[in-house]
Amino acid sequence: MNDKPVAVITGASRGIGKSVAIALATEGYDIAAIARSVDSEGMENLCPEVEKRGAQFFPVGLDISCTSCQKEVVSNILERYGRIDVLVNNAGVTPLQREDVLDMTEESYERVMNINLKGPVFFAQKIAREMIWLRQQIADYKPVMVFMTSVSSVRSSTNRAEYCISKSGLSMASTVFADRLSREGILVFEVRPGIIKTDMTAKIKDKYDKLINEGLVPQKRWGLPDDIGKAVASISRGDWNFSTGMVFEISGGLNIHKL
């Protein structure tokens, strides 16, 4: 069994997932980095960033929406390390095409929901069962789950309704898992990013540049993936051990209600 704690991060090849992986490697975790392809440029670039921090890097290929594939992935991680200490359920997508909710297609809805909600929920379920067992096997074991949602879980965008609905559902999933797993000694948190500068938001950069400059974000800047990585590092470090179920909105003040 691995002496070091192990963090599993989905959607780890770029953006928020990449920053989370680096932040947790810095905190002393070995990293099981999950992405659709282990041969991507993002995964190749992530490996040296993790390893130069003294952490092992284990690239794992998984389409998170393939729930029947998840059991083998969990088994492979446990076979390699013997433990999973942190799960960061980060993988997610936006609709391929932004369309008014009245024009939203079932195909787009199902794609987004399978990747953003169904896949993460059942992946968390599988890992939760292992964490419950591991609590009896490892001394001083402190398991943590993080669900990566979005400010869109509580804010409407009528041209990407399927994304908002999926993230709202994932917020409730975080709450339900926090409730159920509290009796098992497993802490569960929701991290709710705001407008973060990633590949996902690059296509709408000009729109958000204008809105941010006009004051949409009180702190008047884009969020960075590192902002999210630091939050997950704090959670995993044990800074919030009496706060299971808590929502961390990292949004530059978008959570402020004002007239």
pLDDT in tens, 120-161: 999 999 999 999 999 999 999 999 999 999 999 999 999 999
The pLDDT > 90 percentage for the chain reads 95
Residue 257 lies in a domain: no
- What predicted TM-score, i.e. pTM, was given to this entire model? 0.96
Whole-angstrom Cα distance, residue 89 to residue 189? 10
Output the pLDDT for position 5.
Answer: 98
- Positive or negative, the CA dihedral 193, 186, 60, 22 is positive
What range defines the domain where residue 53 resides? 6-250
Residue 190 lies in a domain: yes
Spatial strand order in the sheet of 187-193: 57-61, 30-35, 6-10, 86-89, 144-148, 187-193, 247-250
Structure tokens at 31: 């990293």
Total count of domains within the chain: 1
Whole-angstrom Cα distance, residue 119 to residue 132? 20
Residue 53 lies in a domain: yes
| Average pLDDT of the segment spanning 9-22 | 97
Residue 244 lies in a domain: yes
| Average pLDDT of the segment spanning 149-174 | 97
The answer to whether the beta carbons of residues 165 and 113 sit under 8 Å apart is yes
Residue 258 lies in a domain: no
Does the pLDDT at position 2 exceed 90? no
Does the pLDDT at position 75 exceed 90? yes
Residue 21 lies in a domain: yes
133: CATH: 3.40.50.720
The answer to whether the beta carbons of residues 90 and 12 sit under 8 Å apart is yes
Output the pLDDT for position 199.
Answer: 84
Whole-angstrom Cα distance, residue 217 to residue 96? 26
The dihedral over CA atoms of 235, 67, 175, 21, expressed in degrees to the nearest 10, equals 10
Residue 171 lies in a domain: yes
Does the pLDDT at position 203 exceed 90? no
Output the pLDDT for position 134.
Answer: 98
Residue 102 lies in a domain: yes
Which run of H or E residues covers position 178? helix 161-181
